[in-house]
Structure 1
Amino acid sequence: MKVNFYTSLREYNEKKGEFDKAIQSVIEKGNFILGEQVTQLEKDIQEYTGAKHAIGVASGTDALVIASDILGFKDGKEVITSPFTFLASASCIIKHKGKPVFVDIDEDTLQIDVNKIEEKINENTVGILPIHLFNQMSDMDKIMEIAGKHNLRVLEDAAEAFGMRFKGNSGEYRHSGTIGDFGVYSFFPTKTLGGYGDGGMIVTNDDNLAQLVKSYRVHGASKKYHYDFIGYNSRLDTLQAAVLSVKLKYIDEAIKKRENIAKLYIEGLKDCKNIRFPKVKGDQHQVYYVFNILAENRYELAEYLKKNEIGTSIYYPMPLHLQKSFQYLGYKKGDFPVAEKIAQEIIALPIYPEMTTEEVEFVCETIKKFYRK
Structure 2
Amino acid sequence: MLRPSTPIRLLDLAAEHAALQPALDAAVREVLAEAAFIQGPAVGQFAAELGAYLGGAHVVPCANGTDALTLALLSLDLPAGAEVIVPAFTYVATLEAAALLGLRPVLADVRPDTFNLDPVAVAAALTPRTGAIIAVHLFGQCADLEALGALAAAHGVALIEDNAQALGATFQSASGVTAHAGTVGAVGTTSFFPSKNLGALGDGGALLTRDPARAALLQQLANHGQSRKYHHQRIGLNSRLDTLQAALLRVKLRQLPANTAARQAAAARYDGALDDISGLKIPVRDARSSHVFHQYTVQVEGPGRRDALREHLHQCGVPTSVYYPVPAHQQPAYAYLGYRTGQFPVAERLCETVLSLPMHPLLTVAQAAYVGEAMGYFFAGWE
Q: Identify the TM-score tier after normalising by the shorter chain.
A: over 0.9
- Pick one of 216, 223, 234 that aligns with 1:218: 223
Residue 307 of structure 2: aligned partner:
299
Kindly state the Cα deviation for residue 50 of structure 1 after the two structures are TM-superposed. Answer: 2.0
- Pick one of 338, 341, 354 that aligns with 1:333: 341
* Counterpart Cα distance in 1 of 2:128 and 2:288: 34
Q: Please say if residues 68 and 74 of structure 1, whose CA atoms lie closer than 8 Å, have aligned partners that are also in contact.
A: no
* Counterpart Cα distance in 2 of 1:370 and 1:28: 55
Corresponding residue SS for 2:190: strand
Residue 162 of structure 1: aligned partner:
167
Amino acid at match of 1:302: R
Relative to structure 1, the CA distance from residue 22 to residue 274 in structure 2 (aligned partners, 3 Å threshold; closer, same or farther) is: same
Q: Please say if residues 83 and 129 of structure 2, whose CA atoms lie closer than 8 Å, have aligned partners that are also in contact.
A: yes
Kindly state the Cα deviation for residue 172 of structure 1 after the two structures are TM-superposed. Answer: 2.4
Matches within 5 A, 1:226-241: 226-241=231-246
Residue 320 of structure 1: aligned partner:
328
Corresponding residue SS for 1:160: coil
Residue 258 of structure 2: aligned partner:
253
Q: Deviations over 1:329-372 (max 9, x none)?
A: 00011000011011100010011101111211111111112222
Corresponding residue SS for 2:313: helix
Q: Deviations over 1:97-148 (max 9, x none)?
A: 1111111111111111102222221211111111111232111111111111
Q: Does 1:367 align with 2:378?
A: no
TM-score between both structures, scaled by the size of structure 2: 0.95
Matches within 5 A, 1:78-157: 78-157=83-162
Q: Please say if residues 140 and 293 of structure 2, whose CA atoms lie closer than 8 Å, have aligned partners that are also in contact.
A: yes
Amino acid at match of 1:324: P
Q: Does 1:244 align with 2:252?
A: no
* Counterpart Cα distance in 2 of 1:349 and 1:281: 20
* Counterpart Cα distance in 2 of 1:228 and 1:123: 29
Relative to structure 1, the CA distance from residue 50 to residue 74 in structure 2 (aligned partners, 3 Å threshold; closer, same or farther) is: farther
Q: Please say if residues 142 and 290 of structure 2, whose CA atoms lie closer than 8 Å, have aligned partners that are also in contact.
A: no
* Counterpart Cα distance in 2 of 1:122 and 1:34: 41
Residue 311 of structure 1: aligned partner:
319
**Can you give the 5+ residue segments of structure 1 that lack an aligned partner in the other structure?**
none
Kindly state the Cα deviation for residue 158 of structure 1 after the two structures are TM-superposed. Answer: 0.6
The alignment of Structure 1 onto Structure 2 pairs a total of residues equal to 373
* Counterpart Cα distance in 1 of 2:241 and 2:125: 36
- Pick one of 22, 30, 39 that aligns with 1:17: 22
Q: Deviations over 1:157-177 (max 9, x none)?
A: 011110010001341210001
* Counterpart Cα distance in 1 of 2:58 and 2:71: 15
What RMSD over aligned residues (CA atoms) do the two structures have, in Å?
A: 1.2
Corresponding residue SS for 1:283: coil
Q: Deviations over 1:27-52 (max 9, x none)?
A: 11111111111101100111111243
* Counterpart Cα distance in 1 of 2:139 and 2:79: 28
**Can you give the 5+ residue segments of structure 2 that lack an aligned partner in the other structure?**
none
Q: Please say if residues 108 and 121 of structure 2, whose CA atoms lie closer than 8 Å, have aligned partners that are also in contact.
A: yes
Relative to structure 1, the CA distance from residue 278 to residue 262 in structure 2 (aligned partners, 3 Å threshold; closer, same or farther) is: closer
Q: Deviations over 1:208-261 (max 9, x none)?
A: 211111111111111111111121111011111111111111211111100110
Q: Please say if residues 275 and 282 of structure 2, whose CA atoms lie closer than 8 Å, have aligned partners that are also in contact.
A: no
Residue 194 of structure 1: aligned partner:
199
Q: Please say if residues 321 and 355 of structure 2, whose CA atoms lie closer than 8 Å, have aligned partners that are also in contact.
A: yes
Percent identity, aligned pairs only, is 35
Runs ≥4 in structure 1, deviation > 3 angstroms? Answer: none
Q: Does 1:350 align with 2:358?
A: yes
Corresponding residue SS for 1:55: strand
Amino acid at match of 1:322: Q
Amino acid at match of 1:370: F
Kindly state the Cα deviation for residue 314 of structure 1 after the two structures are TM-superposed. Answer: 0.7
Corresponding residue SS for 2:85: strand
Residue 264 of structure 1: aligned partner:
269
Kindly state the Cα deviation for residue 74 of structure 1 after the two structures are TM-superposed. Answer: 5.4
Q: Please say if residues 259 and 287 of structure 1, whose CA atoms lie closer than 8 Å, have aligned partners that are also in contact.
A: yes
TM-score between both structures, scaled by the size of structure 1: 0.97
Amino acid at match of 1:113: D
Relative to structure 1, the CA distance from residue 170 to residue 34 in structure 2 (aligned partners, 3 Å threshold; closer, same or farther) is: farther
Q: Please say if residues 74 and 93 of structure 1, whose CA atoms lie closer than 8 Å, have aligned partners that are also in contact.
A: no
